[in-house]
Structure 1
Amino acid sequence: MTHTLNQPRNSTKSSSFRVDLQGLRALAVLLVMCYHIWFSKVSGGVDIFLMLSAFFLTSSTARRISRGERPPLITGWLHRFSRLIPQAAVVIVSVVVAAWIILPSTRWLELIDQSKASLFYQQNWYLANHQVDYYAFNTSSASPLQHFWSLSVQGQIFILWPVVLAFSVLIWKLFFSRFNFAWVAGAFFSAVFIGSLAFSINITANNQQVAYFHTGARLWEFALGSLLALALPWLSTLPEKIRRIAGWAGMITIVASGAVLDVQGQFPGFMALIPTMAAALIIAAPATRAWANPSGVLSLKPLVKLGDLSYGMYLWHWPMLVFYLEVSGNQKASFLAGTLLIAASIAASWCTTRFVEKPVIAWQNNLAFPHWMPSTGLKAISQIAVVAIGLGIASLSVTAWENNVEHRRALAASQTATDNPGATAPEDWDPAPAALTLPLATELADEWQTPGNPCAGSNNPDDERIMFCEQGGNFDGSPDLVMLGDSHMQHWSAAAAAAMEESGGSWILVFHPGCRYGSDADRDEAECANFQDAAEEYVADLAPKMVLTTASKTVAAPDEYLRSPGEQETIVDHYAEAIQPFLDAGSQVIAMRDTPRYTYSIPECVDSNPSHLEACDGSAHEALAQINPVQEFLAQHDYGQQVVSLDMTGLLCPEGVCKAVIGNVSTYLDDSHLSKTFVLSAKRQFAEAFKKATGWQ
């Protein structure tokens, strides 16, 4: 009998099967769905699923051992995965097709990787390695396959747990056969429980995002289920009244856990003991269906039926929610929309259970073999075929998606410079209808700019507080230009570097993402404060001819006083004090105006509106101050030509319209950073503006 989120089908006829635990599955999955859909939270229901899966696996294995049978390994693995994979494969194929059609291509590569990880039970490690915040639910980051993390953990345990049980049997028979098997296996699972729980508490305290997906941090939940399975015969001898009261307490705790517990900050450490121990109290409660017992409620036919569908309900609800929010543009589902999503998830689960899972199981169970053929071996072959077909069909859909991405890359590579002139496009230029806009939304990871080589020799900061330093050009003493700031300085670096190198000069780029030089507001973060202190000393000691910094600060959205982003643009706080050491060293400071910011991703908007690119444009009047704050700053200080202004707004926002696409090139790689492709196309305009401002030749 395969016991997981959807189990079992035929086992409801078994005298050893407890229908109330199907109801417990239904309760857990309904809590998961409700908290995901309406509260953007996690309920603890998944922890119950994980514990239950080990409870059933250990119970069934213990019964086999009590009958003198060996615990199954290969046949057990095939039995479980041949039942798990068909529905999972259908969901993955459906998500691939829907994402291909609905989601912007900025998210395709990640979803292709996640599809493979989900299909082969590695999604939890993918999410852990990529530091995905499971709780940061929004349409720009939530993956429709994110929920496969728990199924991946469960699949890994379904491989490991039979090995642990088989090893326990071996040790029991060799050394402790005079004892009950439960004591030997219990010792193993107790060690796993203690070790994993200690690890879980530690990693949750230090890196909760990784802990949430880490198999090692979840092993104790499975060990708890196994310990409960082994101890249940003894627990059943306790007074019925005590078990009944404890069971109701467990029921109340499970329902309330999601609302009361800080799942986001404290799971899966010791706090996850609360829902799992609550479920254990329900399992240990009297199993009779009397209304006085929790099992009486959990054995209600509707709950039992939903328990049969719980695996599919879990599989379907999350991608349906993600796609609904993406299409609707809503941040949350309303009560009506959420109710419809739950109903749709139940309906989809019924369909895949009725028309995919059950026929596959029936086919495996009812295969007719000649009397001279070993039925066990041939049944294993049929299970291998089910696993292979399921994995194969899902893999084909992912491969087709990958091939589409590669085809678009090939088309983009075959385009000529006249198809994507970017900033050099003449006013009367008209793109070819078939020409793709560059950069492709799938290639944005390559659009961050680091145009040179790591700083070396006398230019090496040799200060661990400066983590990002690049250099280029011909050095003869001090550098001609130092670019200093955050990622908004970085995104002009390719053009500035080209301007210096083409005139025979040298340059250095020193930056720290999210750390605007001169800004006290950014110094609240210790790492940023350290960078600013180190960078000030480093650049002043270099005494370059010029220092280029971003001098104004733009924002994307209205503030609490309903001031527009343009009304909020201002000079960097403490900018005068920040640049004074460079002026004292004899450097000319180039105070550059910040670029406009958007509340949405430009490439995603362009990808979604290929025929109406103007829908992605912004208004310079809304995004930027009417008077450049840098000009106002210079008017208030007597710097002469030692501090000059550089403003590229005219390039980005011709005639007051901040363009999402110029010359068939996307200007931004996200909502606030310029794409390398566009910046390189604008290097002539940048060089002209730079020389005009500074007098550099």
Structure 2
Amino acid sequence: MAVVVYHFWPTHLSGGYVGVDVFFVISGFLITSHMFREVQKTGRLSLVKFWARRIRRLLPASIFVLLITLTGVFLWVPPTLWETTARQVAASGLYVQNWALASDAVDYSAQHNDATAVQHFWSLSVEEQFYVFWPLILLGLLYGASRLTKYFPDSPWASPRVAMIAGLSFVGAASFAWSIVSTAQDPSVAYFATPTRVWEFAGGALLALTLGERQLKGIPGNVLAWLGLGLVAFSALYYTSATPFPGWTAAVPVAGTMLVIAGAGSTGLTGPRHWLSRTPATFLGDVSYGIYLWHWPLLAICPFAFGQPLETAGKVGLFLAGIGLAWVTKVLIEDPLRTGAILRSNLRTYLIGAGAMATIVGLSFALAALAYAGEGVSTSARSQPCYGPGALNAANKCGSVAGQDAPAPGPALVAKQNTEPLYRGCQAGITAPEVVSCDLGVSAGQATATVAIVGDSHATAWFPAMDELAAARKWHVKTYTKSSCPATTARRILPSEKNEDGQRSCLAWNQKVNDALTADRSISTVFTAAYSTAYSFASPEGRTLQDPAVDGFEDAWRGWMAAGKRVVAFDDAPRTNGQSVPTCLAKNSGNALACALPRSKAYPGNTAIGRAGAAMVPEGVKQVSLREQFCDQKLCYPVVGSVIVFRDNSHISAEYSRALVPYISRQL
């Protein structure tokens, strides 16, 4: 319920995501208890039976919800989101969704994708992976104990319980250490990766092996359980998205959960046991799996189905609807299939489970294919006066700025540039220390000049234009770009960052790039661009900049100019209304103006790179400003001359980048 409330009202329960960690501890406790009792009773552990029980318990409801989710996405969600959703539904059906999200976390092109209707399956994927490898670890420990018994029959390590405790303690400690290191180095990946969560399962497992059936009763048990609930409540209430997680901070809800399990307390009104055993709590426990399965698809799909964002009344309705759907799913699907004759045979359970998962994957591929049905590629002649930015030129008398024809490529194909970038591998990650570089234009041997383009992902968005411009002018282009790292000597600050690793990485990267540019005498001109309105800026350590936002850019450029380079600075691209532009267009088919933004908001006063460029024109910097090719006097447009301007919520599309080549060339 902590997770569900957090998803519905994140500002009211900012740390509700710790409910996942509570769940992992409980899961580790219960599953290890079951397996250890089987070992005590039979002297062995049947993997075939164990996994079959897990399939019967978990797959019927999850496969059903995935099928309904696919249907809901097809009916109501814009096609721009189908491919990403389909990929994640397939990953969810195979229980590797957490790795799909971890992959997106390190792939900057995918970081701005909207959350899909199955994003919550990441924790279920971690759980299923736990169910696969945990019994294998226990079998290995049991085998080790049996070998010790053979050669050292009197050794205390030969006891299955002792062997399991020792082995799982090592696994848990290693995972906890890895979680701390990984969270500090790459928090986005650490959040979803299985190894960073194993210690939480291990905590519950060790509790099961040490406690057995015993719990602390009476007043001491009450104190222990209330303390545990307090720790969970504290983390749920006071943790935020800025809290480094999972790492050591996850130890608070994990320890709290372990204390609740260990401290049964009394059955009186003063103990948590009484309140957690009442019908409302046990009912929610019975349907908790279904609640978790249903709540996120409802939240993700219903705003599209209703055609408007959810207000408080709508969220309350969906919250209750999720509980109702969970109960119906349990009564009609979970319980009958778990206990009925259809899945009684282990072999039949495996076959039907595999078939159901294959069906989900197949339907996901079908949805992805349908996303682009009917969307043609661009056939417009770029030489036509009303193509692309030409539609904003009043002298061309084009009429509608959006163009007379539907955009080609359409929204879904343009959005695909986020998942299938044209220049993959040419941009360093947000915390990656290394400098990566690609070559555009003509080869160095054929070139009449060598230039470089430097900056953040908005510089990367200019690659299609630079590639075409360089081919026409016989330039060789070297690229130096890094996620969320503008080329400045100031510290750039992102509100979403949980620590200063990104700042330090960006400063170090800029220094390496500056060294490379200075040392490379073949580079005659440096082009640079940035999403400068996305950041705030501060002076670097040991220096004081009067206006860090502007002065940092100017410092970097003067350094390049001192090394004999010319500098060309692109002005900021206009801001959007914050939505993915292709998705907004798909939702508002035929009304592109619903996705437009007033020029005054699209170009706020804090366009740092624009101000720096204008200020340094007298010193020899060439500023390329294309505001008139994005906007008229009132609006900045999402579609201009039958070309979609943005591929997401801020980066210009490859088509519009190329369409701007004549205007860039003219200014140069």
TM-score band (shorter)?
0.7 to 0.9
Matches within 5 A, 1:144-223: 144-172=117-145, 175-176=148-149, 181-223=160-202
Structure 2 CA distance for aligned equivalents of residues 484 and 113 of structure 1: 32
For residues 446 and 280 of structure 1, the distance between their equivalents in structure 2, rounded to whole angstroms, comes to 41
User: Residue type matched to 1:346 in 2?
Assistant: I
Q: Which has the larger radius of gyration?
A: 1
Q: Which residue of 1 aligns with 2:591?
A: 612
Q: Secondary structure at the match of 1:407?
A: coil
Q: Corresponding residue for 1:17?
A: none
Of 259, 269, 272, the residue aligned with 1:294 is 272
Q: Does 1:95 align with 2:69?
A: yes
Partner residue of 1:15? Answer: none
1:344 partnered with 2:321 = yes
Corresponding residue of 1:407: 373
More deviation, 257-266/414-423: 414-423
Alignment of 1:230-629 (within 5 A): 230-233=209-212, 235-236=214-215, 240-261=218-239, 265-286=243-264, 289-324=267-302, 334=312, 336-364=313-341, 379-405=345-371, 407-408=373-374, 411-413=375-377, 417=381, 421-423=387-389, 427-428=397-398, 431-432=404-405, 437=410, 440-445=413-418, 467-468=436-437, 470-473=439-442, 479=449, 483=453, 485-504=455-474, 510-512=480-482, 514-517=484-487, 520=490, 522=492, 525-529=503-507, 547=525, 549=527, 555=533, 572-573=550-551, 579=557, 590=568, 592-600=570-578, 601-624=580-603
Q: Which residue of 2 aligns with 1:660?
A: 638
Query: Partners in 2 of 1:545 and 1:166 — Cα distance?
Result: 61
CA deviation after TM superposition for structure 1 residue 412, in Å: 2.0
**Aligned residues of 1:447 and 1:669 also touching (Cα < 8 A):** no
> TM-score with structure 2 length normalisation?
0.77
Seen in structure 2, the aligned counterparts of structure 1 residues 651 and 345 have a Cα distance that, compared at 3 Å, is same
Distance 2:142 2:276 in 1: 34
> What is the CA deviation profile of residues 424-478 of structure 1, one whole-angstrom value per residue up to 9, with x for unaligned ones?
6775596456965367234223786769999xxxxxxxxx986446353476897
Task: State the Cα distance separating 1:553 from its structure 2 match.
Answer: 8.2
Q: Which amino acid aligns with 1:479?
A: A
* Distance in 1 between residues matched to 2:199 and 2:416, nearest whole Å: 41
User: What is the aligned partner in structure 1 of residue 430 from structure 2?
Assistant: none
Contact 2:372/2:412 (<8 A) preserved:
no
Question: What CA distance in whole angstroms lies between the structure 2 residues aligned with 1:53 and 1:632?
Answer: 56
**Aligned counterparts of 2:615 and 2:160: Cα–Cα separation in 1:** 85
Q: Say if 1:246 and 1:111 are closer, same or farther in 2 by CA, change over 3 A.
A: same
CA deviation after TM superposition for structure 1 residue 119, in Å: 1.2
Who is 2:496 aligned against?
Answer: none
3-state SS in 2 of match to 1:364: coil
Whole-Å separation in 1 of the counterparts to 2:617 and 2:346:
86
SS of the aligned residue for 2:441 comes to: strand
Contact 2:441/2:466 (CA < 8 Å) preserved in 1? no
Report matched runs for 1:32-111 at 5 Å.
Answer: 32-38=3-9, 39-68=13-42, 70-111=44-85
Give 5+ residue unaligned stretches, structure 2.
428-432, 494-501, 537-547
- Checking the alignment, whether the CA contact within 8 Å between 2:408 and 2:643 is kept in structure 1 is no
Following superposition, the deviation at residue 89 of structure 1 comes to 0.9
Measured in 2, the distance between the counterparts of 1:351 and 1:205 equals: 42
The 5 A counterparts of 1:220-231 are: 220-231=199-210
1:131 pairs with 2:101: no
Report the alpha carbon displacement of residue 127 of structure 1 after superposing the two structures with TM. 2.4
2:464 and 2:657 in contact (8 A); partners too? yes
**TM-aligned CA distance change 1:68 to 1:344, over 3 Å:** same
Q: TM-score, normalised by structure 1?
A: 0.74
Structure 1: runs of 5 or more not aligned: 1-29, 368-377, 455-463, 559-569
The offset of 1:491, in angstroms, is 3.6
The 3 A distance-change label for structure 1 pair 364 and 513 is: same
> One-letter code of the match for 1:344?
A
- Give the superposition deviation at 1:406: 5.2
Conserved in 2, the CA contact under 8 Å of 1:453 and 1:472? no
Task: Choose the corresponding residue for 1:121, options 68, 83, 95.
Answer: 95
| Aligned residues of 1:54 and 1:225 also touching (Cα < 8 A) | yes
Q: Percent of counterpart pairs with the same letter?
A: 26
Cα pair 2:415 2:648 within 8 Å, conserved? no
Deviation of the 1:86 alpha carbon:
0.9
8 Å Cα contact 1:451-1:494 kept in structure 2 = no
Aligned residues: 622
Aligned residue identity for 2:318:
L
More displaced 10-residue stretch of structure 1: 658-667 or 273-282: 273-282
**Tell me, what secondary structure is at the counterpart of 1:216?**
helix
Q: Secondary structure at the match of 1:251?
A: helix
Output one character per residue of 1:129-175: Cα deviation in whole Å (capped at 9) or x when no partner.
33389xxxx99643332222221121112222333444455455554
Distance 1:583 1:168 in 2: 65
Alpha carbons of structure 1 residues 581 and 220: separation in structure 2 relative to 1, 3 Å: closer
Matches within 5 A, 1:645-656: 646-654=624-632
Q: Give the CA deviation at 1:658.
A: 2.5
Counterpart-to-counterpart distance in 2, 1:438 and 1:388: 35
1:342 Cα offset (Å): 2.5
Letter in 2 for 1:31: A
Partner letter of residue 465 of structure 2? A
Deviations along 1:207-261, whole A, 9 cap, x unmatched? 333333332232222223233223334745x664433432333334333331245
Q: Kindly state the Cα deviation for residue 499 of structure 1 after the two structures are TM-superposed.
A: 4.0
| Cα-Cα RMSD | 4.6
